[in-house]
Amino acid sequence: MKTLPAEYIQQLVRTALAEDIGAGDITTEATVPECLQAEAVIVAKEPCVIAGLLLVTGVFAELDPKLQLQRLVDEGALVEPKTEVCRLTGSARSILTGERTALNFLQRLSGIATLTREFVEAITGTGATILDTRKTTPTLRVLEKYAVAVGGGTNHRLGLFDAMMVKDNHRAILVRLGPQALAEATARVRRERPGVPVMIEADSLPDVDAALAAGADHILLDNMTCDELREAVQRVAGRAKTEASGGVRLATVAAIAATGVDYISVGALTHSARAVDLSLEVTCELP
């Protein structure tokens, strides 16, 4: 997901601005003359990967089409502290009213992109790929997965509709339906939804064997040790893609990648990334 649809950005920006402004920006309207023009910059306060400039542009365009915004870095750029990310010129009121909404988008998405870049760099050269998950903020999944892609990660399932993913609770039910239930469910999907990938979660090596027997395209190796992951990769022997998941941290991801898995999914990219420190600073008032 390398870009965001214009209509999606507009809808999101309008909702966010309505939430923040409500009936009006009381403080700005009381303190800043309507005719006053200003210049401001958004500045990185720490090293980070920039993501979300489309949203920043959308916020100020929605508030004031006359306001000029100049991007000073590219989306996905790795910047150092004190780097000016973009410059705003125009109505001082518009700049101040849009400040927090624009920064909220930029700080959150840049945080996700920055954390993703750290995971991707940690496994460079191993052949493994970092995936995101569905552990996202409700209604903001597209936005957060976009930030993962900007950071160099790969988007996994967007939702329940684009792949068959048999998780532990599905398996708990299938066990009650008989030993052939998993294979029958797989066959049903292949028959009724041809082309849809079949993914099956495995908590143990016997589960890996069962997933292979059922015809999985992709086996999710959940919370396995590195020794178990290596054994699972050997058992699969290229007959399905392998994915390590469960509690993956920056401190452990390189060792996990070295086991030979194809993918490593990291829920923390979206559910635990912190917002990076960026600020908007008014640099001068214009006549």
Q: Is 100 a catalytic residue?
A: yes
Q: Is 29 a catalytic residue?
A: no
Helix and strand counts by DSSP (H, E) for the chain: 11, 12
Euclidean distance between CA atoms 125 and 186, whole angstroms: 34
| Of 111, 43, 108, nearest in space to 73 by CA | 43
CB atoms within 10 A of CB 65: 9
Q: Cα separations (Å) of 49 from 45, 77, 85, 114, 148?
A: 12, 5, 11, 5, 11
Contact status, residue 165 vs residue 186, Cβ threshold 8 Å: no
Which residue among 25, 201, 207, 243 is the active-site one?
A: 201
Which residue among 14, 45, 66, 167 is the active-site one?
A: 167
Euclidean distance between CA atoms 258 and 169, whole angstroms: 29
Q: Is 66 a catalytic residue?
A: no
| Of 226, 218, 273, 275, nearest in space to 246 by CA | 226
Which residue among 135, 190, 235, 241 is the active-site one?
A: 135
Q: Is 99 a catalytic residue?
A: no
As beta bridge partners, residue 278 has 44
Which residue among 71, 87, 100, 190 is the active-site one?
A: 100
Euclidean distance between CA atoms 53 and 12, whole angstroms: 14
Length of the chain (residues): 287
CA dihedral 150, 153, 103, 57 (to 10 degrees): 20
Q: Is 141 a catalytic residue?
A: no
CB atoms within 10 A of CB 225: 10
Euclidean distance between CA atoms 142 and 119, whole angstroms: 20
As beta bridge partners, residue 280 has 42
Which residue among 132, 144, 222, 243 is the active-site one?
A: 222
Catalytic residues: 100, 135, 167, 201, 222
